[in-house]
Chain A
Amino acid sequence: MTGTGVEGIVGRVVVSRTDFTLDVDVEVRPGEVVAVLGPNGAGKSTLLRAVCGLTPLTLGSLTLGGVVVDDPARDVLVASSERGVGLVFQDYRLFPHLSVLDNVAFGPRSAGRSRSQSRADAVAWVERLRLTALVDRRPHELSGGQSQRVALARALASSPTALLLDEPTAALDATTRLDVRRDLRDHLHQFAGPTLLVTHDPLDALVLADRIVVLEHGTTTQSGLALDIARRPATPYVATLLGLNLIRGRAHDGDVTVDGGGMLHVADRTLAGDVLVAVRPAAISLHTAQPEGSARNVWPGVVDGVEPLGDRVRLTVTGAPTVLVDVTAGAVAELEVRPGDAVWLSAKATELEVYPG
């Protein structure tokens, strides 16, 4: 009962837990990647388990690929094994008694394909995820990044109509995380069905997803495009979490040519090619006139939005590049900054973090 995948993941997921109730509206279109971002205990894993069928809904309903898979009111509940949803677990859960190849082949094998056919399917995925050298290894012989790729290959090999990922980079160390995120983005964008991932890491959401849904304590507090959420955070959590500028560009010897115009100078001269430049809004200084000084990055802009956030104000400044800038309320008052004003921005090269992207 996997349907045609035409309508993606749609529904209202209500699951009662002992300490809170999860109540979320879900909509992921085929080909779309939606990240559910939230702190630990917000209900993210519960949401995934409900979508893939490991936890039944208390209320609401869930449709996958046009087929109703869970509707408590009408007593409809399709088992996990029949939903065609691939789930990449946070702890990977590779079967310890099977080799990498047999792990990846598990899905096709369970679907009834012969051992040789399943293995052939598995080999194709193994090659696509560059795991060929590891086919005979056992899970306990793999590194974190390798395990993650195997888990992804295994989920994809079962020909799912929807893909779910639980904290895809949480179990990895910092350096591996960067490589994995980039790889993952490519694979996710190649996947034709809807992808729903949950994470507490904002970079995961920003790098991997098309849309973000912020989940706090069981309910959606905000959803939309990354930039929109960052520009107008609805809660302090969102403000802190997504208070980050991510700028795409091409690096060469410490100079980053920004997509859409502009040039940024970064401290790391070793990187070349596509990169992501991250700079906190609080690290960018606002000036009413072109500043002097040591900051290597100085550029003009126009104030587009002013958003008070409790103890500070977040300004959206259009320019090359467009960025969010956090300043104190006092500074705004003192500089008499209003939407439409021309301003100058400066950021030290050392405040810019660059990632291969």
Chain B
Amino acid sequence: MRRALPFVAALAALALTACGSSSGATTTPGTPASSGSSSAAGPITVFAASSLKESFTAIGAAFEAANPGTKVTFNFGASSTLATQITQKAPADVFASASQKTMDTVTTAGAAASSTVFAVNTMEIATPASPAVPVASLADLARPGVKVVICQKDVPCGAAAQKLFTQNNLTVTPVSEEVDVKAVLSKVVLGEADAGIVYVTDVKAAGAKVVGVVIPKDQNVTTKYPIAPITASTNAITAKAFVDYVLSPVGQQVLAAAGFTSP
């Protein structure tokens, strides 16, 4: 919760100003100013990629504050797993994914109409706070004796890691392919892994527990994060309102503070 504090503080201030302006027309790109954040009410469930955990939790709290009567519940996990659940008719109202590919499976299945990219993430190497083996660059990961942990290849961060390696002509043999990015992070935090490929947002969220090794822009891969309301949602109005909120300056500020870049 400590990590979420700066975000909560930031948007608490923003929310106050938003509430303060009585005829508040929230400018959301691409959507008409709705007279009703007041028409948003009731509960929604947001399925979001693990890497969105800290930022979306903060956005959810702010959304609830800005729209009294609403309740946002999150289901964080690997985007691919969430996509499978949604296509199996899991009760989701909104889907925020860490890859266009997984979002496409959802739209192709007809569970969502169309998606909008709301954030961009890049990769970073996470190393333990007191490392046993020094890791200073991407090339170090190919050294023998370095325990590298990445996400499983069907998971967006795993696909990104694989792309990272092929793009830079590196042969890296990981010791484990975890099921989501937070599991990779925990292996690094526990000191079991010497290096893990995670998102920059994860490194930022982990604070002092890990030491991040920046990947230069020319070596790095970017991942687009799309968001979409689910067609079968029982609370379409609130779902759409949440999507709009994420895309609004308020939401974007939170995401930027977390380390995302704007689309």
Chains A and B touch (C-beta atoms under 8 A apart): no
